[in-house]
Amino acid sequence: MAEVDLDALHREMAAWRHDLHAHPEFGFEEKRTAAFVAEKLRAFGLEVAEGVGGTGVVGTLTRGSGNRAIALRADMDALRIAEQGTQAWRSRTPGTMHACGHDGHTAMLLGAAKLLAEEGDFDGTVRFIFQPAEEWGRGALAMLDDGLLERFPFEEIFGLHNMPGLPVGHFETRSGPVMSAEDNFEIVLKGLGGHAARPHAGQETLVAACALVVNLQTIVSRRLSPADIGVVSVTELITDGTRNALPGLARILGDCRSFRPEVSAAIEKEMRRIAEGTAQAYNVAAQVTYTREFVPLINDAALVDEAFAAARQILADDAVGIAAEPMTASEDFARFLAEVPGCFAFLGNGNSAPLHNPAYDFNDEGLLHGARFHAAVVRRRLPAL
């Protein structure tokens, strides 16, 4: 098969990325993005299934007679953030932007599909998974619930995410825990509001809420083992009070991070105990809602070694390294790793703005590295006979 002109492919991927960036879509709303992806995949000669898990797309490419299948995944959704960028391809959708680089992830996987379709040099089947709704942790489950593994079986899966602060052309990952679980909580305190001049006449909730926010900090500092990683963050405190009226209702919202189910369970148990005790001390009622949104992302050690080997085929040896420590951010790719072994890795985005920042933009210089990494993984895991 013909060898692909990599410079031309890079320019093409940049054009795709700019188009996707200019037309961002929130989770499960990625209709234009999915249609764009499906059109490109069909043009490359892949079999394409649309509407998997709502707006997900799966492309299938088979070469040779091998019966093994692996998967490569990219996320497609954008965030509810108003872009501050001034580039020509900035978002045309008010209040929505690609602030996490999913436009780049999609373009890199499309580039890998074109590269592998034209050059081949592997034996088996590759599933190209374009996932919706990663940002709120629902897209992978939706695809799995829609029969992803039964309809498009694969034995292992690989994914990439850009990383601001890591130089372009650099690659990092690690075996074992890589990214944390995310749990969300809401604690509602109910009492009896009243006049600000007569606090003794009611059961106001603001002082109780403030005490509870402080008390929740003891979960990590005093209730978890120092050997375990845990984070409890209160992010909102909302009441129905006003300038001269004490609130009778207070809502405390936030999230928790951990790497083991046992730690998540311990955080929830302690939170309920502390909420109930604090509420009783202040003569109000407490109701706790605790949900698990993301599971921990755990890389397979053997496939991490394969990812490192693939990265070294396309990047300098000193640009490929082990990530220093697990991250307490979360990633929906973990849902796939709970079903099959795999590896999630990070590719440098240079000195860009941070992820989820209104000034962020994916660095086009990393596009070709990502496409070539995906292709190198396929050729290692499905070697041509």
Whole-number percent of the chain with pLDDT over 70: 100
Tokens 């006449």, residue?
A: 201
Cβ–Cβ < 8 Å for 66, 382 = yes
What integer pLDDT is reported at residue 2 of this predicted model? 73
Residues of the chain with CATH 3.40.630.10: 6-178+296-381
Phi, psi of 279 (to 5 degrees): -60, -40
Tokens of 171: 């690659």
How far apart are the C-alpha atoms of 241 and 200, rounded to whole Å?
Answer: 16
Calpha distance 170→152 (Å, rounded): 32
Instruction: Report, as an integer, the average pLDDT of 45-65.
Output: 98
Q: How far is CA 15 from the centre of its chain?
A: 24
Mean pLDDT, the chain, as a whole number? 97
Chain segment 201-225, per-residue pLDDT in tens? 999 999 999 999 999 999 999 999 9
Among 3.30.70.360, 3.40.630.10, 3.40.50.300, 1.10.600.10, name the CATH number for the domain at 181-294: 3.30.70.360
List where CATH 3.30.70.360 sits in the chain: 181-294
Pick from 1-10, 47-56, 75-84, 232-241: least confident: 1-10
pTM here is 0.94
Closest CA to 349 of 334, 339, 364: 364
Classify each residue of 250-286 as buried b or exposed e, where b means 16 or more C-beta atoms within 10 Å of its C-beta.
bbbbbbbbbbbeebbebbbebbeebbeebbeebebeb
Percent of the chain past pLDDT 90, that is, above it, reads 98
CATH superfamily assigned to domain 6-178+296-381: Zn peptidases (3.40.630.10)
- Three-class SS of residue 311? helix
pLDDT band at 385 (very low <50, low <70, confident <90, very high): confident
Environment class of residue 74 by beta-carbon count within 10 Å: exposed (0-12), middle (13-18) or buried (19+)? buried
> Which of 105, 81, 104, 102 has the alpha carbon at shortest distance from 91?
81
For residue 147, is pLDDT > 70? Answer: yes
In this predicted structure, what is the pLDDT of residue 320? Answer: 98
The phi and psi torsions of 325 (rounded to 5 degrees) equal -160, 160
